[in-house]
Amino acid sequence: MTQKVLLNALDKLDKQNIWAFNINMLRLYFYENSDQALAVALGRHTKSNLITRVCRGIYSNPRAKSTPKYPLEALACIIRSGEQFYLSLETLLSESGHISQMPNRLTFMTTGRTQTFQTPYGILEFVHSQRDPKDFLNGCSYNNERKIWIASAQKALRDAKRTGRSLDLINLEGIANGTV
Protein backbone atom coordinates (compact mmCIF):
# COMPACT_ATOMS: atom_id res chain seq x y z
CA MET A 1 0.00 0.00 0.00
CA THR A 2 1.56 3.26 -1.12
CA GLN A 3 1.26 6.56 0.72
CA LYS A 4 -0.99 7.92 -2.01
CA VAL A 5 -3.37 4.96 -1.78
CA LEU A 6 -3.47 5.14 2.01
CA LEU A 7 -4.10 8.91 1.96
CA ASN A 8 -7.00 8.34 -0.42
CA ALA A 9 -8.49 5.75 1.95
CA LEU A 10 -7.94 8.03 4.98
CA ASP A 11 -9.68 10.90 3.18
CA LYS A 12 -12.66 8.66 2.40
CA LEU A 13 -12.87 7.60 6.04
CA ASP A 14 -12.57 11.22 7.20
CA LYS A 15 -15.51 12.20 4.99
CA GLN A 16 -17.51 9.54 6.87
CA ASN A 17 -16.42 11.12 10.21
CA ILE A 18 -14.02 8.26 10.92
CA TRP A 19 -10.77 9.61 12.34
CA ALA A 20 -9.67 6.48 14.24
CA PHE A 21 -9.93 2.95 12.93
CA ASN A 22 -8.89 -0.62 13.51
CA ILE A 23 -7.07 -3.01 11.18
CA ASN A 24 -10.31 -4.73 10.18
CA MET A 25 -11.69 -1.46 8.84
CA LEU A 26 -8.59 -0.98 6.69
CA ARG A 27 -8.92 -4.54 5.39
CA LEU A 28 -12.12 -3.40 3.67
CA TYR A 29 -10.04 -0.95 1.62
CA PHE A 30 -7.00 -3.17 1.18
CA TYR A 31 -8.54 -6.64 0.85
CA GLU A 32 -5.93 -7.65 -1.74
CA ASN A 33 -3.12 -7.35 0.85
CA SER A 34 -2.26 -10.23 3.14
CA ASP A 35 -2.40 -9.67 6.90
CA GLN A 36 1.38 -9.60 7.02
CA ALA A 37 1.65 -7.07 4.16
CA LEU A 38 -0.96 -4.88 5.82
CA ALA A 39 0.90 -5.00 9.17
CA VAL A 40 4.20 -4.09 7.48
CA ALA A 41 2.57 -1.19 5.60
CA LEU A 42 0.92 0.12 8.77
CA GLY A 43 4.26 0.02 10.57
CA ARG A 44 5.96 1.87 7.73
CA HIS A 45 3.26 4.54 7.55
CA THR A 46 3.29 4.95 11.34
CA LYS A 47 7.04 5.61 11.26
CA SER A 48 6.52 8.22 8.56
CA ASN A 49 3.76 9.85 10.73
CA LEU A 50 1.11 9.37 8.07
CA ILE A 51 -0.97 7.53 10.68
CA THR A 52 -0.68 7.36 14.47
CA ARG A 53 -0.71 4.10 16.42
CA VAL A 54 -3.14 4.64 19.28
CA CYS A 55 -2.87 1.18 20.84
CA ARG A 56 -2.64 -2.38 19.61
CA GLY A 57 -4.71 -2.67 16.43
CA ILE A 58 -6.09 0.90 16.52
CA TYR A 59 -4.77 3.83 14.53
CA SER A 60 -5.77 7.45 13.99
CA ASN A 61 -5.50 9.87 11.12
CA PRO A 62 -3.58 12.95 12.35
CA ARG A 63 -4.84 14.91 9.30
CA ALA A 64 -8.51 14.13 9.94
CA LYS A 65 -10.91 17.05 10.02
CA SER A 66 -13.39 14.80 11.82
CA THR A 67 -11.31 14.41 15.00
CA PRO A 68 -13.85 14.94 17.80
CA LYS A 69 -13.68 17.63 20.46
CA TYR A 70 -13.06 14.91 23.07
CA PRO A 71 -10.75 12.40 21.32
CA LEU A 72 -9.86 10.44 24.46
CA GLU A 73 -13.52 9.75 25.24
CA ALA A 74 -14.08 8.79 21.59
CA LEU A 75 -11.15 6.37 21.77
CA ALA A 76 -12.67 4.77 24.86
CA CYS A 77 -15.78 4.07 22.77
CA ILE A 78 -13.68 2.54 19.99
CA ILE A 79 -11.47 0.47 22.30
CA ARG A 80 -14.42 -0.81 24.35
CA SER A 81 -17.04 -1.15 21.64
CA GLY A 82 -19.44 -3.90 22.58
CA GLU A 83 -18.92 -3.38 26.31
CA GLN A 84 -20.65 -1.12 28.78
CA PHE A 85 -18.56 1.51 30.56
CA TYR A 86 -18.97 4.84 32.28
CA LEU A 87 -16.72 7.62 33.55
CA SER A 88 -16.20 7.26 37.30
CA LEU A 89 -13.65 7.01 40.10
CA GLU A 90 -10.99 9.74 40.42
CA THR A 91 -11.79 11.42 37.11
CA LEU A 92 -15.44 12.00 37.95
CA LEU A 93 -14.72 12.94 41.56
CA SER A 94 -12.15 15.49 40.39
CA GLU A 95 -14.48 16.92 37.73
CA SER A 96 -17.26 17.28 40.31
CA GLY A 97 -14.96 19.08 42.77
CA HIS A 98 -14.61 16.31 45.37
CA ILE A 99 -10.89 15.81 44.71
CA SER A 100 -8.77 18.95 44.43
CA GLN A 101 -6.16 17.38 42.16
CA MET A 102 -6.63 16.46 38.52
CA PRO A 103 -5.91 12.82 37.64
CA ASN A 104 -3.53 12.08 34.78
CA ARG A 105 -6.07 9.76 33.12
CA LEU A 106 -9.71 9.10 32.41
CA THR A 107 -10.99 6.35 34.71
CA PHE A 108 -13.93 4.20 33.70
CA MET A 109 -15.86 1.34 35.24
CA THR A 110 -16.48 -1.40 32.68
CA THR A 111 -18.13 -4.76 32.18
CA GLY A 112 -14.94 -5.76 30.35
CA ARG A 113 -11.58 -6.55 31.83
CA THR A 114 -9.39 -4.19 33.83
CA GLN A 115 -6.89 -2.59 31.50
CA THR A 116 -4.89 0.62 31.04
CA PHE A 117 -4.11 2.15 27.64
CA GLN A 118 -1.41 4.77 27.13
CA THR A 119 -2.36 6.59 23.94
CA PRO A 120 -0.97 9.68 22.20
CA TYR A 121 -4.14 11.46 23.37
CA GLY A 122 -3.80 10.51 27.06
CA ILE A 123 -4.26 7.55 29.40
CA LEU A 124 -7.43 5.47 29.61
CA GLU A 125 -7.98 3.21 32.61
CA PHE A 126 -10.80 0.68 32.64
CA VAL A 127 -11.64 -1.03 35.94
CA HIS A 128 -13.77 -4.18 35.83
CA SER A 129 -17.05 -4.13 37.72
CA GLN A 130 -18.84 -7.21 39.04
CA ARG A 131 -22.19 -5.40 38.87
CA ASP A 132 -25.11 -7.02 37.12
CA PRO A 133 -25.13 -5.72 33.50
CA LYS A 134 -28.85 -4.91 33.87
CA ASP A 135 -28.09 -2.47 36.72
CA PHE A 136 -24.68 -1.37 35.47
CA LEU A 137 -25.71 2.11 34.26
CA ASN A 138 -28.06 2.94 37.16
CA GLY A 139 -26.89 6.23 38.67
CA CYS A 140 -25.33 7.35 35.39
CA SER A 141 -26.37 9.90 32.81
CA TYR A 142 -25.41 10.16 29.17
CA ASN A 143 -23.34 13.20 28.18
CA ASN A 144 -24.23 14.14 24.59
CA GLU A 145 -21.22 16.41 24.13
CA ARG A 146 -18.66 13.81 25.28
CA LYS A 147 -20.75 10.88 23.99
CA ILE A 148 -20.15 8.73 27.07
CA TRP A 149 -22.02 7.64 30.19
CA ILE A 150 -21.00 9.47 33.37
CA ALA A 151 -21.58 8.35 36.96
CA SER A 152 -23.02 10.55 39.68
CA ALA A 153 -20.57 11.58 42.40
CA GLN A 154 -22.28 9.20 44.84
CA LYS A 155 -21.88 6.28 42.41
CA ALA A 156 -18.24 7.22 41.76
CA LEU A 157 -17.59 7.18 45.52
CA ARG A 158 -19.25 3.75 45.85
CA ASP A 159 -17.11 2.54 42.93
CA ALA A 160 -13.95 3.86 44.60
CA LYS A 161 -14.82 2.07 47.84
CA ARG A 162 -15.82 -1.16 46.08
CA THR A 163 -12.61 -1.30 44.02
CA GLY A 164 -10.31 -0.45 46.94
CA ARG A 165 -9.14 2.92 45.59
CA SER A 166 -7.55 5.42 47.95
CA LEU A 167 -10.13 7.68 49.58
CA ASP A 168 -7.52 10.00 51.17
CA LEU A 169 -7.99 12.91 48.75
CA ILE A 170 -11.77 12.71 48.46
CA ASN A 171 -13.95 15.29 50.20
CA LEU A 172 -16.36 12.70 51.63
CA GLU A 173 -18.37 15.27 53.56
CA GLY A 174 -19.47 17.11 50.39
CA ILE A 175 -20.70 13.88 48.79
CA ALA A 176 -22.44 12.66 51.97
CA ASN A 177 -24.22 16.02 52.35
CA GLY A 178 -25.40 15.85 48.77
CA THR A 179 -23.59 19.01 47.73
CA VAL A 180 -22.79 17.57 44.35
Domain boundaries, the chain: 3-60, 71-164
Long-range contacts at 162-169 (CB < 8 A, ≥ 24 apart): 162/129, 163/89, 163/127, 163/129, 165/89, 165/90, 169/99, 169/100, 169/101
Say whether 106 sits in a helix, a strand or coil.
strand
Per-residue pLDDT of the chain (180 residues; tens, 9 = 90+): 788 988 999 999 999 999 999 888 888 888 888 888 888 889 999 999 999 999 988 999 999 999 999 999 999 999 998 899 999 999 998 898 888 788 899 999 999 999 999 999 999 999 999 888 888 999 999 999 999 999 999 998 889 889 888 777 676 666 655 544
Q: Which pTM value belongs to this model?
A: 0.87
pLDDT at 180: 43
